[in-house]
Amino acid sequence: MPTSRKRGAAAWMSASLAGILLCSVSTAAMAAPPSDAKLQAMQQQLDAMRAQLDALQAGSQPNAQLNAMQQQLDAFAAQLAEMKTQAETSSAAIATLQLPPAANSVTTTLPNGRPTFATADGRFTANIRAILMMDAGKYFQDNNLPTTVTNRDLNDGINFRRARIGFDGRLFSDFDYSFVYEFGGSGVEEAGRLYEASVTYTALRPFRLKVGAFEPNIGLAAATSTSQMPLLERPSPAEAARNVAAGDSRAAIQLSANDAIGSETGIAVRWLASGAFTGNTLGGTQQFDEQTAWIGRVALAPYSGVDWQAHFGGNIQHVYQPNDAVGPTGAGVRYPIQIRERPELRETGDRLIDTGAIDSASATVYGAEAAFQLRNVLLEGEVFRYEIERRNSTLPNPHFRGWYVQGSWVLTGETRIYNPIEARFDAPRQNYSFNPAAGTWGMFELAARYSTLDLNYREGLDRAATPVGGVRGGEQKILSLGANWYLNPSMRLMLDYQHVDIDRLTAAGAQAGQEYDAIAARAQVTF
């Protein structure tokens, strides 16, 4: 090719390249990305110039002008590729905005500090939950011990009453799940144990089917969440009752249903019916046949708007196969049922009343419950009867009793919330959180309770031996006063005072009870 023609072609290519570069610069400066047609035209021009440059380079010796043009073409090719990427990204973003949120997209929220994850369609959720309760207590009992009692020293101190971490949520819209681990304890923290592992099928409304290890629904106080009780612990008669065949971490299958009758404008009635087959508790060391039982609860709750709420109910537990403690060839009480309970503080693990192990064919607990709420004042109570049928014995079958009444008054005007799914009263929903800068101080509540648990049966007289067939489990009476400060929906401070009176005879008829006062405080964080 003549040199003049090569120079002319090179000059033409330089001018064309300059035009394309100017076009690309102006396009990049525009607010909107270039169209597909414009990008395609620029690509065609670039391909044609590359072909011509390859022909020029093939027909002549390398020179500075051709090398410079090659570098310019490479730079423009990179710029054009970047422009294509930007255009594709912009188009994809616009298409995404035009479509509804994907069903499997996940949103993250922190209601009251609880990490919560949920898909856009609500079919799947996951919540991280935690309960932390640190208690400190003092027992004033040194000068009130009978002379016959030695080596009893109720433990003053500090411990984590509950330290639970876990998660719950929903699977495929119709299944609720809960998995919780517990590290707290009574008087001393535990190494850690599985507290709950359950799945609930909810599609058969108003029915709910729950399977796993959990606390079956049995009784008004037993149903109330530990993080929402007005006093530090449940009343001892209710605690003793629920631990016969229900209680924490119980293997069970439960069917429950709840609904309402009537309208919101007049008097309406909420109702609950629940039944369960229960087995042993998690973490036991049972080597032979485990306990099996059935339990049931019904409740009716008339109400009228937010002015008042009533509650009436009954519950029953029947153990038809007690635990086999020693097996067919072992020694000792083979099928023991034992009713006992700590005072209504857990700084110490001591149980001051106890029936001892009774060899049993079966056991039944009956309970009746009632409550009435008028705006920010709530009064509630339960009564229990505990019956044990002896095994292979002509001795009379013992029975025991217990009851309590308690009340709470929210000084700041909020009301405790009735939970119809569990037939219980949850903590008040406070109007303002603690915020001194805004002049708000949270919510305040006062509470009081009197409880009695009598585990004596034909106990006989003082200074006399236990009559044949009698049980000297003791009688426990407790007066409790409490004050609660709710800083926000996740944090609460509690202070309780107790006066405890224990009356219990030894087998020889000596007094083994005592009378004492106690004070305890709790710092609680839940989410």
How far, CA to CA in Å, does 151 sit from each of 146, 187, 350?
12, 17, 12
- Other C-beta atoms closer than 10 Å to the C-beta of 494 total 22
Tokens 């020293």 — which residue?
153
- Phi, then psi, of 31 in degrees rounded to 5: -70, -40
CA 428 remoteness from chain centre:
17
pLDDT for 298 beyond 90:
yes
Give CA angle at 64 (59, 69), nearest 5°: 80
Place 26 in a pLDDT band, splitting at 50, 70 and 90: very low
- Quote the CA–CA distance of 384 and 172 in Å, as a whole number: 41
Domain boundaries along the sequence of the chain: 3-98, 106-526
Mean pLDDT across 470-489? 97
**pLDDT on residue 329:** 87
Closest CA to 445 of 396, 514, 493, 389: 493
Mean pLDDT across 282-297? 88
Place 22 in a pLDDT band, splitting at 50, 70 and 90: very low
Give 188's DSSP letter: S
Per residue, what are the HEC states of 479-527?
A: EEEEEEEEEECCEEEEEEEEEEEEECECCCCCECCEEEEEEEEEEEEEC
Residues 361 and 296: beta-carbon distance below 8 Å: no
**pLDDT on residue 59:** 63
Give 104's DSSP letter: T
Sign of CA dihedral 471, 473, 477, 480: negative
Mean pLDDT across 435-459? 97
pTM: 0.79
Query: Three-state DSSP class for 170?
Result: strand
Q: Per residue in 136-155, pLDDT tens?
A: 999 998 776 777 787 788 88
- Quote the CA–CA distance of 143 and 171 in Å, as a whole number: 58
Closest CA to 229 of 237, 240, 241, 220: 220
The domain 106-526 having CATH identifier 3.40.1360.10: the answer here is no
Q: Per residue in 79-119, pLDDT tens?
A: 767 776 666 666 555 554 455 555 568 899 988 888 999 99
- Which of 37-46, 119-128, 342-351 is predicted with the least confidence, judged by mean pLDDT? 37-46
Residues 471 and 505: beta-carbon distance below 8 Å: no
Percent of the chain with pLDDT over 70: 85
Residues 133 and 162: beta-carbon distance below 8 Å: yes
**pLDDT on residue 93:** 54
pLDDT for 12 beyond 80:
no
Q: Per residue in 304-344, pLDDT tens?
A: 877 899 999 999 999 999 999 999 888 899 999 999 999 99
Place 442 in a pLDDT band, splitting at 50, 70 and 90: very high
| Angle separating helix axes 64-98 and 3-29, nearest 10 degrees | 30
Higher pLDDT, 69 or 420: 420
Query: Three-state DSSP class for 23?
Result: helix
Mean pLDDT across 422-432? 96
DSSP H/E element including 299: strand 292-304
Closest CA to 524 of 487, 499, 473: 487
The count of residues in the chain is 527
CA 343 remoteness from chain centre:
25
Place 475 in a pLDDT band, splitting at 50, 70 and 90: very high
pLDDT for 7 beyond 80:
no
Tokens of 164: 């639970």
- CA distance between the termini of the chain: 84
Please give the sequence-ordered ranges of beta strands (E in DSSP) within 391-490, or none if there are none: 399-410, 416-419, 424-428, 434-435, 440-441, 443-457, 471-488
Closest CA to 459 of 337, 353, 319: 353
pLDDT for 33 beyond 70:
no
How far, CA to CA in Å, does 496 sit from each of 279, 296, 305, 427, 519?
34, 32, 32, 17, 6
